[in-house]
Amino acid sequence: DYDVDVIDSQSASKLVPAAAEGGLHQIETASGAVLKARSIIIATGAKWRNMNVPGEDQYRTKGVTYCPHCDGPLFKGKRVAVIGGGNSGVEAAIDLAGIVEHVTLLEFAPEMKADQVLQDKVRSLKNVDIILNAQTTEVKGDGSKVVGLEYRDRVSGDIHSVALAGIFVQIGLLPNTHWLEGALERNRMGEIIIDAKCETSVKGVFAAGDCTTVPYKQIIIATGEGAKASLSAFDYLIRTKIA
């Protein structure tokens, strides 16, 4: 057995970096508890941004999904929609087009925001339809699975229905890092900026997984990053003098 203390039902609310390298960093929790350590690994993950429309919660995992790489094969030969015209949405549509019968890509804005090379690729695919100025308003189901969706044309105001079996929501990923505001460097999306050894802008503080700038948010990648962060933290502790 390893001498590890597991504290359940607690959430971190603030990081106070050590005053000097080798000193004690401080984590404050929402309950008011304070934890101190010379080295910290942050692995708080991220969550998909939701559409927040009727039916989304009811049919999550029953046709509403957020990972085309994971769930795409489940819809082989079926009709699906991708919500979002950014890089992730267009990449998902391109990926799914080789698996499913047909893809409907819905983008809220008047134009897609993906890189031009991706836009050119998706527009060349014969089994992909692109609908702009489309605001998804409802996920439709039969009680057990998704059967379609409704969207509003933001120009005309008309409501349209699309019959399909799956909806891939690709409108952004939210890293769980809001509590780190001002404590260390993050990018414009809130991801913790790390180097090749998973170290953050604060010496002795490491981060791993979906909350960081590492690309491709997959479990197997996050697991490997966690191992790397652990080794880096160990290396830091044995090489750094106690302040």
Nearest to 46 by CA among 240, 194, 168, 214: 214
Check if 57 is active-site. Answer: no
More confidently predicted of 216 and 84: 84
Check if 70 is active-site. Answer: yes
pLDDT at 2: 81
State the pLDDT confidence band at 76, using cuts at 50, 70 and 90.
very high
Q: Which of 1, 3, 57, 70 is labelled catalytic? A: 70
Do the beta carbons of residue 94 and residue 125 sit within 8 Å? yes
* Mean pLDDT across 67-76: 95
Percentage, residues of the chain above pLDDT 70: 100
- Output the average pLDDT for the chain: 97
State the pLDDT confidence band at 3, using cuts at 50, 70 and 90.
confident
pLDDT at 231: 98
- Flag whether pLDDT at 1 surpasses 80: no
- Flag whether pLDDT at 101 surpasses 90: yes
Do the beta carbons of residue 178 and residue 190 sit within 8 Å? yes
Q: Which of 71, 95, 129, 153 is labelled catalytic? A: 71
Distance (Å, whole) CA 22 – CA 38? 6
Q: Which of 67, 95, 129, 153 is labelled catalytic? A: 67
Distance (Å, whole) CA 204 – CA 70? 34
* Mean pLDDT across 198-220: 97
pLDDT at 151: 99
Do the beta carbons of residue 197 and residue 226 sit within 8 Å? no
For residue 67 the two structure tokens come to 């990972």
Check if 71 is active-site. Answer: yes
Domains of the chain: 12-47+174-239 (3.50.50.60), 50-169 (3.50.50.60)
104 beta partners: 81, 129
Q: What is the pLDDT of residues 131-179, one digit of tens each?
A: 999 999 999 999 999 999 999 999 999 999 999 999 999 999 999 999 9
pLDDT at 37: 97
pLDDT at 213: 98
Q: What is the pLDDT of residues 184-195, one digit of tens each?
A: 999 999 999 999
